[in-house]
Amino acid sequence: MRRLLVLLSSLGLAACHCVEQKQSREPRDFMVPSAEVLRRGAEVFRERCSPCHGDSGYGDGVLAGVLPIRPRNYHADPFRWGRTPAGIVETVALGRSGVMPSFRGAIDEADMWAVAQVVWAWMPASQRQQDAPETLEHWRQP
């Protein structure tokens, strides 16, 4: 009887471990474009991105005219980088073209994803791409 209890409890622990591992592979809340994430993304965009890209992402911010490269109009311009939410996060984190600064360390990961969801929603549908599952593995819960 004691052996049976030990066996059952070890199976229970193994089952719990498997469930933990499966749950840990789920996307983080900020990776899913909920209304809350989009609201936060719009707020961060206004604070950090609108001086160049404009309040609504048309590339018409107050600094747009003095930059050596015109900021992207997210609603119309073709996208060379970041056609997926994770790709947009990478652009926000690293910066681009020697003009857009890196926001790594200035904006936390959740806010980068929130901004990315807003920008991705503004993109013309013909340019949007979904993130591949293997691309998202880096961003999933530890």
**Does the residue 21 lie in any domain?**
no
| CA 120 to chain CA centroid, nearest Å | 9
Answer yes or no: are the C-beta atoms of 41 and 116 closer than 8 Å. Answer: yes
The pLDDT tens digits for 89-119 are 999 999 988 889 999 999 999 999 999 999 9
Rg of the chain (C-alpha set): 21
Q: For the chain, what is the domain count?
A: 1
Residue where the block lists tokens 């959740």: 110
**Does the residue 23 lie in any domain?**
no
**Does the residue 5 lie in any domain?**
no
The pLDDT tens digits for 64-75 are 999 999 999 999
pTM: 0.76
First-to-last alpha carbon distance for the chain, in angstroms, is: 38
CATH number where 129 lies: 1.10.760.10
**Does the residue 112 lie in any domain?**
yes
**Does the residue 61 lie in any domain?**
yes
